[in-house]
Structure 1
Amino acid sequence: MPAFRDFNFKLLVIEKLMYEDKTLTPAFSIAECLKAKGIDDPQLYAYDNDLAYTVLDEARAHFETLEISEELLATVDTLLIDGGLQVYCECSPVWDGEDDLFDVNSLDDLDLLPNLRRIVGAENCGLGVPFKKEILAARGIVSD
């Protein structure tokens, strides 16, 4: 199985496959995960344990070890960058999008997505490092 180097880039791919395309199953739910531990409210749990603006350990462990086949990765032609992604809600139930918690730090994982042609929202995130138009264009990827 291919290995991702950037956890936050992997989350963008998981968003596409698990929550948008619904081809990476079963869909992870932090509420269900915590409920199995006797915790009824993920938001209250995060606040009460000073975890409000972090990735919960349960979500990190699940997503870090989640294997995604080359066949599924080959189906990814578009990625979306947006503070309201479902995968972010599953990782950090009270995250407000006002910090760099989910910033992608490397585009090394682009090699895992041979058919990626478009990244939506890259311009709204400032096209800073690493989403420079030149880097994406050199790979045949449109950013908007």
Structure 2
Amino acid sequence: MTAFRDFNFKLLVVEQLMYGDETLTPAFSMAEHMRARGVEDLHDYVWEKGLEYTVLDEARAYFEQLEIPAELLATVEELTFDGGNQVFMECAPVWDGEDDLFDVRSLDDLELLPNLKRFIGGYALDHMLPGSLETLAARGIAVED
């Protein structure tokens, strides 16, 4: 079992594999998950429950338990940190990007991605985690904004 240390870093990997490459299937849909529980309007549910600024428990549980085989991790050549990432919308459907909810706190999980070549949104990453540009450069990972 591949264990990630940083949940938000794992979400970046999930973004690439599940919603980008579509190789990690099936794609998780919070709206479909909640419809199965009888919630027709996910956005209304979030607002009514006061869950605007949090990762929904159902999404956190799903992504924390999600197994990603090492063979699939080895296919990741690019990661993107962008406030519009689909995985962020699945976790926090009305998130506005104005807080640190999805900030990466550690790059310890880079070792899980032996073929990572490019990090898009790296300057935002460096704001979240000072020194990260140097860490990426030391591993030969190109950074784009």
TM above 0.5, yes or no, is yes
Q: Which residue of 1 aligns with 2:32?
A: 32
Cα-Cα RMSD: 1.0
CA distance in structure 2 between the aligned counterparts of 1:131 and 1:32, rounded to whole angstroms: 39
Q: Which residue of 2 aligns with 1:98?
A: 98
Map 1:3-18 → 2, pairs under 5 A: 3-18=3-18
- In structure 2, relative to structure 1, the CA distance for the partners of 1:126 and 1:109 (3 Å cut) is closer
- Matching of residue 110 in structure 1 with residue 110 in structure 2: yes
1:72-100 per-position Cα deviation (integer Å, ceiling 9, x unaligned):
00000000010000000000000000000
- In structure 2, relative to structure 1, the CA distance for the partners of 1:66 and 1:12 (3 Å cut) is same
1:91-129 per-position Cα deviation (integer Å, ceiling 9, x unaligned):
000000000000000000000000001100112x16231
Q: Which residue of 2 aligns with 1:86?
A: 86
CA distance in structure 2 between the aligned counterparts of 1:43 and 1:22, rounded to whole angstroms: 25
Q: Which residue of 1 aligns with 2:126?
A: 127
Query: For the Cα contact (< 8 Å) 1:104–1:130, is it kept in 2?
Result: no
Map 1:49-88 → 2, pairs under 5 A: 49-88=49-88
Secondary structure at the residue paired with 1:11?
helix
Query: For the Cα contact (< 8 Å) 1:106–1:130, is it kept in 2?
Result: no
Secondary structure at the residue paired with 2:122?
coil
TM-score normalised according to structure 2 size: 0.96
Where in structure 1 do 4 or more consecutive aligned residues deviate above 4 Å? none
Secondary structure at the residue paired with 1:24?
coil
Q: Which amino acid aligns with 2:61?
A: A
1:1-23 per-position Cα deviation (integer Å, ceiling 9, x unaligned):
21000000000000000000000
The structure that is helix-richer by fraction is 2
CA distance in structure 2 between the aligned counterparts of 1:100 and 1:67, rounded to whole angstroms: 25
Query: For the Cα contact (< 8 Å) 1:60–1:91, is it kept in 2?
Result: yes
Query: For the Cα contact (< 8 Å) 1:76–1:115, is it kept in 2?
Result: yes
Secondary structure at the residue paired with 1:127?
helix
Query: For the Cα contact (< 8 Å) 2:122–2:143, is it kept in 1?
Result: yes
1:21-50 per-position Cα deviation (integer Å, ceiling 9, x unaligned):
000000000001000110011111110001
Query: For the Cα contact (< 8 Å) 1:107–1:130, is it kept in 2?
Result: no
Aligned length: 143
CA distance in structure 2 between the aligned counterparts of 1:90 and 1:142, rounded to whole angstroms: 28
CA distance in structure 2 between the aligned counterparts of 1:99 and 1:122, rounded to whole angstroms: 17
Secondary structure at the residue paired with 1:58?
helix
